[in-house]
Amino acid sequence: MGKALLFAVVGIAYPAFGLTKCPSDALDGQASIDARLDASSCRLREFIPGDQSENPTRLYVFEVVRRGVLTIEASSNEVDTVLLITNPRFIRTGLNDDREQGRTDSRLVLSLTPDTYYIYVISKRGTGAFTLRASFSEEPPCQIRDLPPDTHTGTLAAGACRLLDGFAPSDLSFPADIFQFRIEGNKVVTALMESRAVDSLLVLADSKTGQVIAFDDDGGGGSNALVLTSLPTGEYALIAAGSVPGAYTLGVRVEDPRPCQARDIGFGDQVSGTLSAEDCRLLDLDAPEDTPLRTDLYRVQVQEPGIITADITAGQFPAAVLLLDADRKILATAAESVPLRPQTVRMETSVRPGQYFIGVTHRELQAGPYQLTAAFDRARRCDPAPLDPPAQTTGNLANSGCRFQDLLPHSQDTTIAVPYRVTLAQPAQLTVEMTSTNVDSYVWILDSTGRVIADDDNSAGGSNARLAVRLLPGTYTVIANSARIQTGSYSFRVAAAEPRACDSRPLPFGETATGQLATDDCLVRDVMVNSARPVQARIHWFDVAEAGTITVDAGSFAFAPHLILVDAEAKRITEDVPDSRQVAGAARIRRALAPGRYGIVVSATAGVAGEYLIRASLAR
Q: What is the DSSP code string of 273-327?
A: EEE-TTSEEHHHHSSSB----EEEEEEEEE-SSEEEEEEEEESSS-EEEEEE-TT
Give the residue-averaged pLDDT of 545-556.
91
- Whether 287 maps to a domain, the answer reads no
Q: Is residue 194 part of a domain?
A: yes
Average pLDDT over residues 2-29: 52
Give the mean pLDDT of the chain: 89
Question: Over the stretch 459-493, which tens digit does the pLDDT of each residue have?
Answer: 998 999 999 999 999 999 999 999 999 999 999 99
Whether residues 389 and 480 share a domain: the answer is yes
pLDDT of residue 13: 38
Same domain, 423 and 314: no
Taking a C-beta distance cutoff of 8 angstroms, is the pair 163, 171 a contact? no
C-alpha dihedral over 468, 471, 477, 479, to 10 degrees?
-10
Tell me the mean pLDDT in the region 561-581. 89
Q: Pick 529 or 16 by higher pLDDT.
A: 529
Q: Supply the pLDDT for residue 140.
A: 74
At 90-139, the pLDDT tens digits run 788 888 887 665 578 999 999 998 888 999 999 999 999 999 999 999 87
pLDDT for the residue numbered 332: 92
Same domain, yes or no: 247 and 165: yes
Confidence of residue 4 (pLDDT cuts 50, 70, 90): very low
Q: Is 21 within a domain?
A: yes
pLDDT in tens, 319-350: 889 999 999 899 999 887 655 566 789 999 99
Looking at the structure, do residues 356 and 397 belong to the same domain, yes or no?
Answer: no
- What is the extent of the structural domain holding 72? 3-137
Q: How many domains does the chain have?
A: 5
The three state secondary structure string of 93-155 is EEEECCCCCCCCCEEEEEEECCEEEEEEEEEEECCEEEEEEEEEECCCCCCEEECCCCEEEEE
Residue 233 CA to residue 327 CA, distance in Å, equals: 18
- 33 and 109 both lie in a single domain: yes
Residue 17 has pLDDT above 70, yes or no: no
- Residue 418 sits in the same domain as residue 532: no
More confident residue, 36 or 14: 36
Provide DSSP, 11-32: TTSTTTT--SSS-EEE--SEEE
Indicate the residue type of 566: V
What's the pLDDT score for residue 607? 65
Averaged over 167-172, what is the pLDDT?
86
pLDDT beyond 60 at 194: yes
Q: Is residue 540 part of a domain?
A: yes
Residue 218 included in any domain? yes
Q: How far apart are CA 607 and CA 380, in angstroms?
A: 43
Phi-psi map region of 518: left, alpha, beta (phi>0 left; psi -120 to 50 alpha): beta
| pLDDT above 60 for 422 | yes
Q: Decide if 471 contacts 529 (C-beta within 8 A).
A: yes
Region for residue 260 given its phi and psi (left: phi exceeds 0; alpha: psi -120 to 50; beta: otherwise): beta
The residues near 278 (Cβ < 8 Å, ≥ 6 apart) are none
| pLDDT for position 581 | 62
pLDDT in the model for residue 317: 80
420 and 472 share a domain?
Answer: yes
- How would you list the strands of the sheet with 345-351, edge to edge? 270-275, 368-378, 306-314, 345-351
Same domain, 341 and 452: no
Higher local confidence (pLDDT), 288 or 4? 288
14 has pLDDT over 50:
no
Residue partners of 252: CB distance under 8 A and separation at least 6: 147, 148, 149, 150, 151, 152, 189, 190, 191, 192, 238
pLDDT tens digits for range 295-325:
999 999 999 999 999 999 988 888 889 999 9
Q: Decide: helix, strand or coil at residue 46.
A: helix
Percent of the chain at pLDDT above 70? Answer: 93
What is the pLDDT at residue 20? Answer: 58
Rounded mean pLDDT, 380-399: 94
Give pTM, 2 decimals.
Answer: 0.78
Same domain, 57 and 112: yes
Domain boundary among 97, 122, 137: 137
CATH number at 92 reads 2.60.120.380
The whole-number average pLDDT for the span 568-597 is 87
In a domain, 560, yes or no: yes
User: Residue 177: is its pLDDT beyond 90?
Assistant: yes
CA distance 213 to 233: 14
By three-state DSSP, how is residue 620 classified? Answer: coil
Q: Check pLDDT > 70 for residue 149.
A: yes
- Mean pLDDT across the stretch 53-57? 93
In percent, how much of the chain has pLDDT > 90?
66
Mark whether 100 and 225 lie in a shared domain: no
Q: Are residues 514 and 470 in the same domain?
A: no
Answer yes or no: is 261 within a domain.
Answer: no
Q: Greater confidence, 288 or 233?
A: 233
Q: Which residues of 453-487 are buried (b: 16+ CB within 10 A; e: fewer)?
A: bbebbeebeebbbbbbbbbeeeebbbbbbbeeebe
Assigned domain for 262 exists: no
pLDDT in the model for residue 16 = 46
Of 93, 115, 137, which marks where a domain is finished?
Answer: 137
Domain boundary among 106, 137, 168: 137
Q: What pLDDT is attached to residue 302?
A: 96
Q: Tell me: pLDDT of 381 over 70.
A: yes
Burial 152-165 (b: 16+ CB within 10 A, else e): bebebeeebbbbbb
* Same domain as 493, residue 417: yes
